[in-house]
Structures are given as structure tokens and as C-alpha cells.
Structure 1
Amino acid sequence: MQLLWSKFSPVFRRFLISYLVILMIPQIAGYASYRASIEAARSSSIENSLKSLSLGKEIIERNLLQVEAFTRQLAVNPDLQNLIAGPKPHDLYNVYGMNRMQRSLSMYSSTNDYLSHFFIHIPNYNAIITPRTVYYRPEHYYAANQLDGMSFEQWHDQILKQPHFNEIIPLRNYKREILGTVLADVPAITFLQSLPLNSFNKPQATIGVMIDQDQMASLTQNIVDQYGGWTLVTDAEGQIIFSLGIEQAEAEQMAQSHRREGNAAETELNVQNVQPGSDGRLLISIQSSQNGWNYMAGIPEKALMTKADQIKQVTLAFTLATIALGLLFGLVLAYRNSAPVYRLLASFREQITDSPDRRGNEYDFLASHINNLIANNDSLKNAMNEQIPLLRDGFIKRLLIGEVYTSLELEVISSQAHISLHSSKGLAGLVKVNGYANPDSEETIHELGVARLLIKQVLTEWNAQLLITDWGTDQIAFACPLDENSLNEAIGRCEKELNTLMEVIYREHRISTTIGTGAAYEVWNDAGRSFDEAKQALDYAIHMGTDHLVRFEDTMKENEMFYYPIESEQRLLNTIKVGEPEEAIRILEQLFLRNLEERELSYEMTQQFIMELKGTFLKLDEPKFKLDASLLEEYKTRVTSIQMTETITSLRAKFKRLTEDICGDFQRRRAGAHADTVSEMICFIQQHYGDANLTIYRIAEHMSKSEKFISQLFKEHTGENLSDYVERVRIDAASNLLHSTGQTIDEIAEATGYNSAHSFRRAFKRVRGISPSVFRKMDVHSG
């Protein structure tokens, strides 16, 4: 047993012991209740026996009182007075008087069961009168009613001649005449009373009432029948009055024993006494206050405990059932609650290699390492929060120089930098701190840092959604989002407020600034173009020596050169490389708009612009673009075939078609690369779906890409969420196991990467619409 107990994990044992302790608490309370019920049942049985014995005693005493009353009535009976007190008539036997008295006595015998057999001896006539007949010779009566152990002479001298006053002869057998000449032994007691009542020496009449033992004992028959015990009544001298259910010898022994106890201690009358006997019986006794009789009953303890035994059996059965069920539930709950903790411990111990043999309290182990995890997570979170300003500045710089090419990339990077892009329209600008020609000393750099900080604070208070970053030691770049409704009004309001801010900065901080702004952009991908224009506007303002806001539109009138900054060329090439034809064509159209519509270029400048544009497309033969040789030759041929003498419309159309074709080729190559990435993800999931730790983070870590990127990429290529696909793979594998193996639900759940059977059942029903057990039964029936 100890070996089996040691096989369970400590966590399981602690849970089980806790449940067992909880289970024992109601068992202890139940045992106390059981003992109280046993004692109550025993007390109830004893009380019922006492009541039954006491009731028999009361009825016997009441009947005896009626017998005494009967003798007092006879004492004043005129017919009996004439027979015992008056002189003898001439009729020697006085037949008339005797018969009249006999008829009168027959009426008394019907009023009380105890008066069914009695006699009156009249010495005046030496006759005995009974309710049935008149015996003119006592010998005749005695012959029909012999007293066991006593001759006629003894009976005559002791019974008829001696005076008696409420005297009772203890139990003796009478030879009583039954059915004519048949005599039967009838045990009875004899009540004797001499008349008149105050006669002491020479009685004039003697009344004897024979009370059958059966008549008296029937009143206590209930104790014998119900409990299988015995009853015994003795007089004050310890002589047996009657007994029932007990042998004569045992009855005499009990009577003598009780007599000795009565002599040894003075006992109060009518006191009920209950004490255990030596033979497994409970001895109950009541001493009468009327005549000193002792009423005793011996009741077997087993009979008294019948109800208690029933309670005991029911309680024992219920207790055993409760313990069995409680133990079963304790085992189930202990396993259910300890299994997650055990798995968690196993996961921790797999990752922690500093003390593999360490033994201790599992909860302390978990608490310490979870605290370490929380602390490390907080540290990592704080470190990441410290990096957020750097990420924010990096994102703003990439946005302003045009290194963000797709909307997906824009969304991913902005979310990582905690930047919310509310509006796609805006205005890029560049602020320069004036007055520092050569910021090369440490003091100058420090002053410029303070100035930039104050300017950024003022700009942020003006518009909290403003994207701001340092641009060199004396410049600040920004992108100001504009309202979606009226772009021109929003631009005018923004430029007006920027002029006001310049005045505020100078008035409050004595910092002179110059601001250059580019033309508004309508999509975030065009913010780089607006910032390039802002730099040109600021350069123009510095060249002109102005200290106010200068717009890019203000410089165009003075500029006769074509517009094709290196940043625009780089954005065009990068956009083509990532296969975004809409964005590439938008940049291309913007270049044609700025040079051939908004500017009045000379023919030579126009040709120069077309030459630069052709040179841009010829740069696609660089190794970093990785075009196929055949396609590269085709594109180079198409580029060189473009003649500068063609119309603007033709040039636009050719460059547009060329851009679409090249972007299409890059797009197909990118789609193939993405398809390979998705295939690799699917292969990884198929191999590791049984790992409960397989998450999107784990997949992204394996692919060396961000979670958001792989989720969106998988959704674009398959039309299915990545998490839904992982769940579907697991459920498909579980379905195969349900069909082909006899493994339990718990085993299949663990084999397919679920932490518990409960979560597995929920997932299975969510995918299949039915529970795993029903699915298995359906498969069996279909087979």
C-alpha cells in the first residue's frame, strides 16, 4: 500500500488528503448522531417497557381494590348478615336463605374477572357458598378445589377457622373442577377476608377469592410477547404472586434475591428501577405503594436494541456508501485538480536546469518561478516601453523618407510603435532652429537639444496626433494629419496655425525658426514625397534668408529644373520591387504631373527628365532585384525603344505598361515566395499539432516573422484564419484516432495538443457539431 501511495505525485496526494479530511468531518458528525440515535432508541424501548409494566401494575392494584370493596359490600349484605349473625332457623340447612345468598353472589361474579371464582364459609351452617352452588359440607368444596400442598384439615384450620384481614396467600396450584369430574391444576393466589371486618379471634364468616395467575399475568403479557422477556410479581415478603415467561426455580431465585436487596436497603415505594442483569437482560422493577408488591420484568438487551440495530444497519450502509462515493469523488477531483498543476510543474522543470534534483513544496516552487516570470515580464515590458520612443522615431523617419511601401507593412510597423494613424491625408514639414551656423561644440549641441525639446513640446500641445522626430541637430521633421472633409481648407488652417506657433515659440522661448512644408498627401505612402518637397522648400528658405513658413508651391515658380529627387526614384524602384503596381503608377503619374503640367520645362529639361526616368528602369538589372535574364533583356529592350520625341501621352502609356508588367513579374515571384512560406507553415503545423504549446507565437518564432504578418499572409493565401486551421488539423487527427484506435478521450486529447479533455470536447463539438463519444458511436454503427 505504501509503495502504491508513493507512486502518486505529491500534489495529487495533498489534494486527496484534503478531500479525505473534508469527507471525515461529516462522518464524525454522523457517528455522534448515530450514537445519540442508539441511546434514544434504547431509552424509548426502556420507557415503553416501564409504561407497560406500570400499566399492568395499576390494573392489578385496581382490581385488587375492587376485590376489597367486594368484601366490604358483603360485610353489610343483609342476607349474609342473617346467615352469619342470626340464630339458626328450624330449617337445619336454611335452604332458602342459602339459595338466595347464592343467587346474590352470582351477580358479583360478572362485575370483575377477579371475582369469577370465590367462596364464603359460614360457620353457623358449616356451609360454603360459591357463585355457582352451595356446599353444605366443606369437604365437598375442598374435594373440588384442592389446594396444592395442603390437606383438608390444614386447609380447614388455616383458612376457615383463622381470622384474616386482606390476607393474600401467594401463588399455589388449585385442583379445580372443570367439566364435571375433571380436575385441573390452576395456579392462583387467594385473597382472604374474615367477617365481620373487625373480628379478630372468632370470625363469623370467611371470604376467599381465588385469582388465577393467567388473569393477572395477562396484563404483562405484552412485555413477554414483544421483547421475549419475563415478568414476576412478589409480595412484600418476597413470595411469588405470579410469574410469566420464567422458570419456577429462576423465579424463586429472583424473588429471594430481590427480597435480600430490599432488606439491605430501605427503598422508596413506587420508585422505578432499571439495572443491567447478569444474563444479558435489563431488569426493570417497580415497588407498589399500595401493598408493597414488587413488579419485575426481565427484558433482553437485544430485544430493546431492535430499533437501534435497524438504525445501526442503515447508518452503517449509508456510511460505507458515503465513504466509497466520497473516496471515488476525492480521487477524481484530486486527479482533475492536480493534473494541470503537475503539467505546469513539468513544463517549468523542463525549462529550468539550474536545480533539476531540487525537492520541495510544489506550490512554493511554482510561486517563486511565476514571480520570477512576472518580474522578468515586467522588466521586458519596461525595456520594450523604453524602446518605444526609438521605434516611434524609426517609424516616422521611414515614413518620411518613403521606406514604407505597402499598407500591410504600414499597419504592422505602426502598431509595433504604438502609433495610431487616424487619417491618411496630411502635410509633411521640416522645422529649422535658426542662429546656429556651426553646431559642433558640446555647448551648442546641448542648447540645440533644449531648443528642439521646447519646440516639440509646443507642437505636441498644438496637435497631439502630430508625428514628430528629430532631423539632425537643428531640425525637426513632422507629419501633420489633416481632416478628411475639405483638404484645401485644412491645409490653409494648418499653415496659418504653424505661423502662429512660430511666433509663440519666439515670444515665449526666444527661439527663431523656419518651416518648410511640402504639398499635401492623400495616402500615407506619399508622405515621403511631401517630405522631400518640404526639404526643398526649407533649402529654398535658407537660401533666401527667410525666417517664416515657406511652402513648396512657392519655390516652383522660381525653379526651371525638372523635378525628380533621388527619394522619389528610390520609392519608385522599391515599390516596383515589392510588386505594388497601383503605388508605382501613382508615383509615376505624380512625376509626370509635377514636371509636365505644373512646371513649364524647356524641351531640353523635358528630354533630360525622360532620360532620368529611363535610367531608373534600367537600374533593374542590379543584382538586388534578382530578375530572370530573359525578362531583364526584354525589359531593357522595351526601355531603350522609348523615344524622347514621342508625345507625352505615348510616353506615359509606355512607362505605365512597363511598370505594370515589371510589377506583375515581381508580384508573381513574391506570391511564389509567400506560397512557400505558407507551405512551410502548414508543414510545421502538421508535424507539431500534438504539442500543447503550439501557438501563433511559436509558429512566428519558427518562421522568424511577426505574428501579425504570418496571420495576415496565411489568411490571404488560404482564406482561413491561422488559429482555425491549427484547430481543424488537431480535430482531423483526433477523428482518425477515434475511428482507428481504442484510446480514451483523455489520451486522444493529450495526443492532439489539448491541455484537458474538457477543452478538447468543446473544440471537437465546435468543429464537428457533435461530441467525440457520439462521433465514435456513429462510426461504430456505420461500420
Structure 2
Amino acid sequence: MPRHSRVFRSFLISYIVILIIPSIAGYMSYRTSISVTQNLAIENSVTQLQKSKEILERRMAEVEGFTRQLAINQDLNILMNEKKSGDQTNVYGIWKMMRDILTFGQTNDFLQNFFIYLANYNVILTPGSAYFRPEHYYENFHYNDLTLAEWKQTILGKTHRSEVLPLRPFVSKGVQTAVLTYMQSLPLDSFSGSSPATVVVLIDKNTIGSLLSGITDRYGGWAHISDGEGRTVAAKGIGEPDMEALAADARFDKDKVSQFYDDDLVITIRSDASGWVYRAGIPRQVLLENANKIKSITWTVTGIALGVGLLVGLFLAYRNSAPINRLVTVMKEQFGTDAGEGRNEYDFLHGNISDMITNNKRLESELHRQLPLVRDAFLKRLIAGEFQSREEILAAAAQANTGIYGNSGYVCILQINGYSGMDSVEILNELNAARLILKQAMFDLAGFLLMTDLGSDKIVIVFASKEAETGSELGRNEIGGLLHQLSERAFSEYRISVTAALGDRFAAETEVSQSFERAKMTLEYAVNSNRKGILWFDEIQVESATYYYPLDAELRLIGTIRAGEIEEAKRIFQSIMVQNTENRELSVEMKHQLVGELKGTFLKLLDQKTFLESDLFESLKNRIIGIQETEKTETIQAEIDGVMEILCGLITSRKNDSHTRTVEQIKQFIAENYSYSELTLYRVAEQVERPEKYISQLFKEVTGMNLSDHLEKVRMDHAVRLLRQNAYTVDEISMKVGYNSSHSFRRAFKRVTGVSPSSYRQTEED
């Protein structure tokens, strides 16, 4: 089986190798794209974390700026420097200060929750409220891990200079949360002991977390900010135990900007201003989401491509190996299966094809060597009148490469004089040498001519040329001059005397035998009258004791009519009539016999199956029988011409019917198989069982159109219908109408219709 042969496997392996090469290139491109995508995702994540850091530092700077504005506030300076006398309190000043700080929380969400502690009044000012006893403020706002006394001591009782407390649990009006605390003592030059005033800003963890949501919301990971001592400043999406475990793990490098830890990409950046450490954890799966999409698409496309490529490879390997396997099978049947053992199919084919080429060349050489014999046999059959029709003559002439078809001329018989008895070997050898000398001399004088031996002392020469076809005397004079030169040269150099007898001119290949018979009659006349030199048929006196209607002329006439060649049949009949009316004087009895013979010839023709089945059989038969021998020769000739026209017309009609059926069969086959891209002239010829050249000429003759043009028209008609339906793309339509290439289809469509397929479809839609 072809699919199990070594040729099939060789083709398949080569296709697989070709398929693997782009797959490797695709894999390398895939790995590169994955790496680029991963690096780009890391870079974007670092940029996002850097932006969060910048925003947070900018907000903290605004908080610090807020404390500096308070430091230069005149009303606050008055309040914190006043000395309290008894129970008197500067209520108006405190109220005015509360009103002034109320607007700060509206411009910065970090200033939503802050207070100012005035030590001299023991008052806590908040936006909108004043607590004349800190215990009241502590009841609503306090740290979980600080008592009132500890809070007063660490927060209110100490001097702070831009101090930040890390994130710690906090209760705000009963709500549990965690805050980052920023503290600044006023005035700014307070360094030790107690200070007149302290500004405390409480930043809720959710407020800080909103700055980190760009990372956590986008990637679903976590973010963490710690101060220089590792204490948590802010966190989102991760707990303190997890961060402690991360910091304690030896696998984690704290100095790396980006690294994979477990299933997360951990990004670390440090603030040069505050020393804070910003970390973000992004899940590997989310980070490489685009890369995974690329991976999925790449593997899917690659898998489909490999699968389809393998199927295509199997198909192509089978298709390409099948002809070779069939050829190998045929050769093994011819040369034996043992010839292929131990060798692969290519070596087997190479060896046998080499032998075939060698044998073909040997045969071709042998044919060239035998070509003179083939020509000689063809010429003997031609002058003997053995061919039945002009088509048969032309086919045999083409096979023998004679060059006679399409020409006219004269037949000449050269007789070597001086040899009366030819009963000894010596005389026969001399005659053989003389014939060779005469042939070579004629070849030297005139070039290639058709020549053959006629007995031991005669040579037949056919002078055929285009000039003789015109009927002018130029051809005849040239032939006479050549024969005269030949005669003088043969006699002067070799003492060979010859007599040349020529028949009358033949106007077609079918009349060569007739010219030969006339040359024989001329030679017979020359021998009987002891004439020497060159003698033409029209120079002799022809006896008219009988009519001229030889058997070969009758056979040629019958064969020509059977072939439907009316012009050739009329030419042969005209030649017969000329010989009997112009070159002979027939008596009344001979004329009657000639007409009877002609009627008998046509009655024999009617016995053929073609004419017996015709509706015109009876009328033709009666018409032939009704020809009267007593009528004028012109009337008889016209009547026979009419009969021949009807007979040839019947033959031609039958041929045309057969041709029409063949053409219809071709059209039907094309209509059923136009979508097959391998539909070629060879396939059509194989279907109708005719030669390719024959069906090509036949189709053009019957339809007036080339077969290839008809196939293209059928395909374009179906393409137009599909374009109007608007159900397929142009590429799909090109495949459906038998084109392997959409470019070839577009070019053919524009050549036939004048517009491109797309333009045609748009025009139909409009």
C-alpha cells in the first residue's frame, strides 16, 4: 500500500521536518514574548508602587506643611503663650481657632482627624470641637494599648519633632480601627521637656490603604509600608504575622527590587526621604495573565497548526508517493520484483529509467538507421496505389518523414541501358552499383528526393515541389534540366546510359500512383520505339482500344468517398474522365462499358452499413441506376458528382454527429467536475477516451472556442452565481470553482468579466 511504502514515509518525514522548523522558531518567539511580557508587567508594577510612594510622601509632606502653618498662626501663638489666671479661659480665642482649623480637613483627607493640645489651658482643639478636659477626648478617641495616663505622658507630655508612630490599634467613637500618628510640638524650636502646644494628626489605615489600592485592586495582591525599624506604617491585604514570616525567611532578599517569593512577585522600594520601605506582593498568575494568554493562544495555534500540518503532510505524502508507487509497481511487473530488492524505490526507478532511456536512444538510433527503409516501403506503397484515402497517405508520410504532403509534381522512372540479360551475379552487382551511383548523383544535384528501386535496372524518383503545384512550366523545365545533367554526368564519369520516362503531373498525393502508371506506359513506349534520353507522357501516342479505369483508381475513389473527402473524390473522378475523354478516343461501346463500371462502383459503395441505414438509400440507388450511358459526358459527370456529394455529405453528417456527441460528453464532464482543481486536458481526454490533441482540435472545430476557454467560462459563471449569493468569501469561492490560488482566480475573473470579484460583488449589492 502507498501509505506503508518507504517513499510515503520519506515524504512524510520530510514534511514533518519542515513543519518542526517553524514550530521551533515559533517556540523561540513565544519564549521571547513571555519574557518581554513578564518584564513589562514587573516594570509596570514597580512604577505603580513608586507612584503610590510618591503620593504618600507628598501627603505626609502636606501634613508637615500643615503643622508649619500652625506654627506661624498668630491666633494660635497668642493662645499657647497666654497665662491662665484662675478659671478664666480665652473662650473667644479658642472658638476662633477652632473655626480657622476647620477648613484644613477639607483639602487633605490625611487631615480629617487631628487635634491641637494647648498645655496652658489643658484644652484639646479639634475641627469643630474643644475638649477642656483631655479625659473627655480620650473617652472617644484613644489607642487600645495606651491608658489615659500613658497617653498623656507619651503623646501630650513630650516634645515631638515630626515624629511618626507606626500603625497601631485605635478606637474612634467606638469604632475599632488602626491609625498612623504624626506629632509635632509647637513652637517648632521646642526640643526638650514640655512644649506649649502639640499638634497630633491621626491618619486612618483605610485612608492610607486607598493610596495602595492601585496595586491591590489591579492585581489582587497586597501592599505594606514599614518604617526604618521595620514597624508597620500601613498595610493592605496582608497581616502582621505574614510580614514577620516574610522578613524572617532566609530565601527572601530584602535588598532586591523584585523577586518571586512563593506564588507572589514581591517588589521592594525604599524612600530616601523617610527611610520607609514600600513592598507590594502581586500573584504570579495575575502578573503573567497576558503572558498566560499568549501561552494559551500560542500552544493552541501551534497544536492546531501541527495537527493540520500533519494531516496535510499525510495527504501530500500519499498523493506524491502514490504515482511513484504505481510506477514502481508497473516497472516491477515488467522487470520483475527481484530487481528492486536491496534498493529503495528511487534507486530502483533510477536504474530502470536509465535503462529505458538507454534503450530508447538505441531504438531511436535504430529507427534513424531504418528510416530509409521505411521511406522506401512508403514510396513503394504510394506508387502501387495501396493507400485508400488521403488521410492514410498523410499519416504514413508523416511517419516516414517524407515531406511529400501538400505538394505536387511528377513521377520519373530511370532505366539503366545496356543490360539485356540479368542472370549472373556480376551483372546484378554492376546494376546495384550503378543504381547507387545514380542516386548519389541525383542527391548531389537536387538534394533530398524520394527514390526507390524498381527491379534491378530501374529507379523511381518522385519530383514534388511547391513550384510544380502552380502548374507552370518552370517545374517541368527544372526537372528536365536535372535529368539531363544526371544523364551527362553518369555517362561521362561512369559510362552509364539511362532513359528517363515521366508520367503526367499529379496534383495531389492520391494521384502519385496514377502518374507512376503513366511513367510505366511512357517507358514501355520508349523501349518499344527504341527512344533514348528523356521522354514525357504527353509526348507518346496512347492507343484508345479500351477505356481507362484501373483497379487502383477505383479503390482510391471508394476510399476517398468513405472518408468523406468530397474535393479529393472529385479530383480523382475528374482525372479518370480526363484520361478517357481528352487523352483517348473511346468508341460508343467503350463509353458504355466505362459508365457501367462507374455505376457498379457506386452501387458497391451503397452496400456499406453507413448508407444502408440511411433514409436516402433507395433514392440514391435509383439515381445511380437511372444514369443513362447514352447521355452526354458532361451530364453523366454532373450526375455522378451529385451522387458523390450526397454520399460524402452522409459520411460528414455521421462524423459531425459523432463529434457533437463527443463535445457534449466533454461539456457534461466539465460541468460535473469544474470544481476539481486537477481538471486538465489529460483528464478530459482520459474520460472521453480520445487523444488530447484530437479533442482539443475537435472542440475548437465544433464550438469555435478553445477547451481551456470553455472550462474557464464555466468556472466564472459559477463564481458569478456564488458572488451574487454573498454567502462565501472570495477565497472560498476560488476553491469552490477549482482554483488553488485566489490570486489566479482574481486575475482570471477580471480577464473574463472586466472587473475584480470584490468590485463585482459590491456592484451587485449596490
TM-score after normalising by structure 2? 0.70
Q: Larger radius of gyration, structure 1 or 2?
A: 1
Moved more, 188-197 or 304-313: 304-313
Alignment of 1:145-224 (within 5 A): 145-177=141-173, 183-204=174-195, 205-224=197-216
Aligned mates of 1:20, 1:755 — CA distance in 2: 40
Q: Determine whether 1:536 maps to 2:524.
A: yes
**2:62 matches 1:72:** no
Q: In the TM superposition, what are the counterparts of 1:399-414 in structure 2 within 5 Å? A: 399-401=382-384, 403=386, 407=390, 409-414=392-397
Amino acid aligned to 1:277 = Y
1:525 aligned to 2:516?
no
- 1:587-632 C-alpha deviation (Å, 9 max, x unpaired): 69848976757xxxxxxxxxxxxxxxxxxxxxxxxxxxxxxxxxxx
Counterpart of 1:22 in structure 2 is: 18
Matched, 1:314 2:297: yes
Distance across 1 between alignment mates of 2:39 and 2:202 = 38
Asked if 1:494 is matched to 2:433, the reply is no
Go from structure 1 to structure 2 and tell me whether the alpha carbon gap of 1:157 and 1:593 turns closer, same or farther (over 3 Å shift): closer
For residue 234 of structure 1, report the CA deviation from its aligned partner: 0.7
Greater CA deviation, 332-341 or 148-157?
Answer: 332-341
Match of 1:249 in 2: 241
Q: CA deviation at 1:733?
A: 13
Match of 2:322 in 1: 339
Percent of aligned positions that are identical: 31
For 1:573 and 1:333, the matched residues in 2 are separated by 61
Instruction: Please give the secondary structure, in 2, of the residue aligned with 1:483.
Output: helix
- Answer whether contact 1:564 1:591 (CA < 8 A) is retained: no
Task: Give the alignment's Cα RMSD to 1 decimal.
Answer: 4.9
Distance 1:85 1:324, change over 3 A: same
Is 2:258 the counterpart of 1:274? Answer: yes
2-side partners of 1:486 and 1:259: how far apart?
A: 115
Alignment of 1:726-741 (within 5 A): none
**1:569: how far off?**
7.2
Deviations 1:625-671 (A, max 9, x none): xxxxxxxxxxxxxxxxxxxxxxx21133125414643x4676578x4
Deviations 1:118-156 (A, max 9, x none): 222222333322222233333333233222211122222
The range that moved more, 242-251 or 450-459, is 450-459
Partner residue of 2:107? 111
Match runs of 1:520-669 below 5 Å: 520-522=504-506, 523-536=511-524, 539=527, 543=530, 546=532, 548-551=533-536, 556=541, 590=579, 648-658=587-597, 660-661=599-600, 663=601
Specify the code of the residue in structure 2 equivalent to 1:31.
Y
Higher mean C-alpha deviation, range 105-114 or range 287-296: 105-114
Tell me the equivalent position of 2:758: none
Measure, in 2, the Cα distance between the counterparts of 1:432 and 1:6. 68
- Please list the CA deviations of residues 180-212 of structure 1 after superposition, one character each: whole Å capped at 9, or x if unmatched: xxx222310111122232322224222211111
Paired AA for residue 518 in structure 1: L
CA 1:82 to 1:511, structure 2 compared with 1: closer, same or farther past 3 Å? Answer: farther
- The answer to whether the Cα contact below 8 Å between 2:610 and 2:651 also exists between their aligned partners in 1 is no
Describe the superposition over 1:339-377 as per-residue Cα deviations: whole angstroms up to 9, x where unpaired.
333332322222222627736322332333233333322
Contact 2:371 2:400 in 1 (8 A): yes
Residue in 2 aligned with 1:779? none
Secondary structure of the 1:276 match is strand
The question of whether the paired residues in 2 share the 8 Å contact of 1:19 and 1:330 is answered with yes
Whether contact under 8 Å (1:234, 1:255) holds in the other structure is no
53-62 vs 412-421, which deviates more?
Answer: 412-421
Change (3 A) 1:259 1:115: farther
Q: Helix, strand or coil for the counterpart of 1:355?
A: helix
- Residues 405, 100 of structure 1: alpha-carbon distance in 2 compared, 3 angstrom cutoff: closer
Q: Paired residue for 2:36?
A: 40
Task: Give the residue type in structure 1 aligned to 2:237.
Answer: G
Instruction: Specify the alignment match of 1:704 in structure 2.
Output: none
- Label 1:573 to 1:19 Cα distance change in 2 as closer, same or farther (>3 A): closer
CA distance in 2, matches of 1:98, 1:496: 153
**Alignment partner of 1:459 is 2:459:** no
Point out where structure 1 has 5 or more consecutive residues left out of the alignment: 178-182, 598-647, 676-711, 739-744, 775-783
Please name the residue that 2:566 is paired with.
none
**What amino acid does structure 2 have at the position aligned with 1:332?**
F
> What letter corresponds to residue 291 of structure 1 in structure 2?
S
Structure 1 residues 98 and 532: CA distance shift in structure 2, 3 A: same
Residues 379 and 726 (structure 1 numbering): CA distance in 2 closer, same or farther, change over 3 Å? farther
Q: How far has the Cα of 1:465 moved from its partner? A: 6.6
Q: 1:518 to 1:102 in 2, by over 3 A?
A: closer
Instruction: Work out which of the residue numbers 6, 10, 15 in structure 2 matches 1:10.
Output: 6
The code of the aligned residue for 1:69 comes to G
Question: Are the aligned partners of 1:448 and 1:474 in contact in 2 as well (CA < 8 Å)?
Answer: yes
Given residue 592 of structure 2, which amino acid in structure 1 is its aligned partner?
A
Q: Are residues 308 and 589 of structure 1, via their aligned partners in 2, closer, same or farther at CA, if it must alter by over 3 Å?
A: closer
- Deviation of 1:73 after TM superposition, in Å, equals 2.2
Structure 2: how far apart are the matches of 1:375 and 1:659? Answer: 55
Which residue does 1:238 correspond to in 2? 230
Post-superposition offset of 1:384: 1.9
Aligned equivalent of 1:632: none
Residue 483 of structure 1: aligned partner: 468
Q: How does 1:431-450 map to 2 (within 5 A)?
A: 431-432=414-415
Amino acid aligned to 1:117: N
Tell me the secondary structure at the aligned position of residue 515 of structure 2: helix
Q: What letter is aligned with 1:172?
A: R
Task: Indicate if the aligned counterparts of 2:451 and 2:460 stay in contact, CA closer than 8 A.
Answer: yes
**Is 2:290 the partner of 1:299?**
no
2:760 aligned partner: none
Match of 1:620 in 2: none
1:326 aligns with 2:309: yes
Distance 1:416 1:83, change over 3 A: closer
In structure 2, the partner of 1:631 is none
**Alpha carbons of structure 1 residues 124 and 555: separation in structure 2 relative to 1, 3 Å:** closer
Look up the match of 1:626: none
Q: Distance in 1 between matches of 2:204 and 2:229?
A: 20
Secondary structure in structure 2 of the residue aligned to 1:185: strand
1:217 deviation in Å?
1.0
Structure-1-length-normalised TM-score: 0.69
1:98 to 84, 94, 97: 94
Pair 1:354–1:718, CA change in 2 (3 A):
farther
What CA deviation, in whole Å up to 9, does each residue of 1:20-79 have, x standing for no partner?
333333333333333333333333333332222221111111111111122222222222
- Distance apart, 1:718 and its partner CA: 5.9
Structure 1 residue 385, shift from structure 2 partner: 2.0
Contact map agreement 2:385 2:556 (CA 8 A) in 1: no
Q: 2:463 & 2:315 partners in 1: Cα distance?
A: 64
Q: Give, in whole Å, the separation in 2 of the partners of 1:368 and 1:550.
A: 61
For the residue of structure 2 that corresponds to 1:719, the secondary structure is: helix
Letter in 2 for 1:373: M
Residue 284 of structure 1: aligned partner: 267
Distance 2:557 2:34 in 1: 97
CA separation of 1:78 and 1:431: change in aligned 2, threshold 3 A: same
Distance in 2 (alpha carbons) for counterparts of 1:511 and 1:91: 176
- The CA deviation at 1:534 is 4.2
